[in-house]
Amino acid sequence: MRKMRTSLRPWRAAATALATVLLVGSVAACGNSDTGGDAGSGSDKLVLGFSQVGAESGWRTANTTSIKEAAAEAGIELKFDDAQQKQENQIKAIRNYIQQKVDVIAFSPVVESGWDTVLKEAKDAGIPVILTDRAVDSADKSLYKTFLGSDFVKEGRLSGEWLVENKKSATGPVNIVELQGTTGSAPANDRKKGFAEAIAANPNLKIVASQSGDFTRAGGKQVMEQFLRANPKIDVLFAHNDDMGLGALEAITAAGKTPGKDITIITIDAVKDGMQALADGKFNFIAECSPLLGPQLMDLAKKVHAGEEVPPRIETEETTFTPEQAKEALPNRKY
Ligand code: GYE
């Protein structure tokens, strides 16, 4: 800090002193995020600790962007951690947020099970938790305030229903291979369930192989190569997300087959690259899953911080796409 000269005229000394007080005051306000009060000075900025699954897919990247942009827009201080698809990293990040006494914790749980202990720690510390995108299977619903995200069972069901309709004139057996998402994750469990239920009444529609590709392109490609080697007749691919479907395209083409024609391809998400493949006729159907959860999440964070009641479950609105609909929607697609 600048030294004050004794020769300053009284008014200048007073002005310098005032400026110093204002400066020190505002620095203190910025540096301390959980003091509360002091509206308008910046000291009451809500601090949100967010633990993201990883960066495994186009969906995830769009979700991360949405959350970061919405936090900035809402004037929320976001602490962000990428868990690289590992539950232990998410637990570590949540414990850090508890230690730092953030105002609200939000996370997208990579798998459904194993959260009770850390959620209890947050509850005991008086920090409200919001689940976003994926659910947990905790029996004690008081461990979190709300769950914001899609209905994954419905996405699987819509995919299966479209297939039943599309193959209704098929005479022989229709062999389906399934690329599952991350093992133990809510979207993998639920999409599998919804799809199986939708095709159950049609014994000619048969899932001949089903394995995890971990929601990644590389995983989708590798597992599809195995499927193609082991199954001489594959009629349908159901991939739990676009990225695995996109990876599988390479394996299918390399095997000398035409995607979208020799093999009917159904995926979930509707990110840009997936929609492009659909518009190009390489995919045949996509059930949408919106990653744009940021604005709703920030709204909920403010509400739970203020002690307001929020609904225990908030579902994202979604649709489905055929190739024609994809062509129409693509120019205005945000992700
Ligand atoms: O479908 C997939 C991502 O949890 C809904 O995770 C999300 C899923 C999404 O990796 O692409």
Residues of the chain with pLDDT > 90, as a percent, come to: 87
What is the predicted pLDDT for the residue at 57?
Answer: 98
**pTM for the whole thing?**
0.87
Q: What is the CA(103)–ligand 1 centre distance, in A? A: 27
User: With bands split at pLDDT 50, 70 and 90, how would you rate the model's confidence at 122?
Assistant: very high
Burial of 267 (0-12, 13-18, 19+ CB in 10 A): buried
- Give the pLDDT score at 43: 54
Q: Which residue has the higher pLDDT, 32 or 212?
A: 212
Residue 22, pLDDT > 60, answer: no
Rounded average pLDDT over 121-148: 98
How much distance in Å is there from the Cα of 269 to the middle of ligand 1?
7
Whether residue 157 has its Cβ less than 6 Å from ligand 1: no
Does 155 contact ligand 1 (Cβ within 6 A)? no
Q: 3-state class of 180 per DSSP?
A: strand
Instruction: Tell me the two tokens of residue 52.
Output: 């993201």
DSSP 8-state secondary structure symbol assigned to residue 280: T
Stretch 281-301: mean pLDDT:
98
Single-letter code of the amino acid located at 135: A
Q: Using 50, 70 and 90 to split pLDDT, how confident is the model at 36?
A: very low
Q: In the prediction, which pLDDT does 7 show? A: 38
- Asked if domains 47-150+291-317 and 152-289 share a fold, the reply is yes
Question: What digits encode the pLDDT tens for the residues 69-121?
Answer: 999 999 999 999 999 999 999 999 999 999 999 999 999 999 999 999 999 99
CATH for 152-289, among 3.40.50.720, 1.10.375.10, 3.40.50.300, 3.40.50.2300?
Answer: 3.40.50.2300
For 89-102, the pLDDT digits (tens) are 999 999 999 999 99
Share of the chain above pLDDT 70, in %: 87
Atom of ligand 1 nearest to the CA of 291: 5
Show me where the domains of the chain are located.
Answer: 47-150+291-317, 152-289
Atom of ligand 1 nearest to the CA of 240: 1
- CA 57 to centroid of ligand 1, rounded, Å: 7
To the nearest whole number, what is the mean pLDDT of the chain? 90
Question: Quick one: 47-150+291-317 is in which CATH superfamily?
Answer: Response regulator (3.40.50.2300)
Q: What confidence tier does 44 reach under pLDDT thresholds 50, 70, 90?
A: confident
Q: Is the pLDDT of residue 11 over 70?
A: no
Query: CB-hemisphere CA count at 13 Å for 47?
Result: 19
Quick: pLDDT tens for 137-166: 999 999 999 999 999 999 999 999 999 999
- The DSSP-derived string for 92-159 is HHHHHHHHTT-SEEEE--SSSSS-HHHHHHHHHTT--EEEESS----S-GGG-SEEEE--HHHHHHHH
Q: How many angstroms does the Cα of residue 82 sit away from the middle of ligand 1?
A: 15
Q: What separation in Å is there between the alpha carbon of 197 and the centre of ligand 1?
A: 21
Q: Ligand 1 atom closest to Cα of 152?
A: 5
Q: CB within 8 A of 168, min separation 6: which ones?
A: none
107 lines ligand 1 (CB under 6 A): no
The answer to whether residues 90 and 33 touch, using CB atoms and an 8 Å cutoff, is no
- What pLDDT digit, counting tens, does each position of 226-273 carry? 999 999 999 999 999 999 999 999 999 999 999 999 999 999 999 999
Q: Of 34-43, 118-127, 268-277, 298-307, which gets the smallest average pLDDT?
A: 34-43
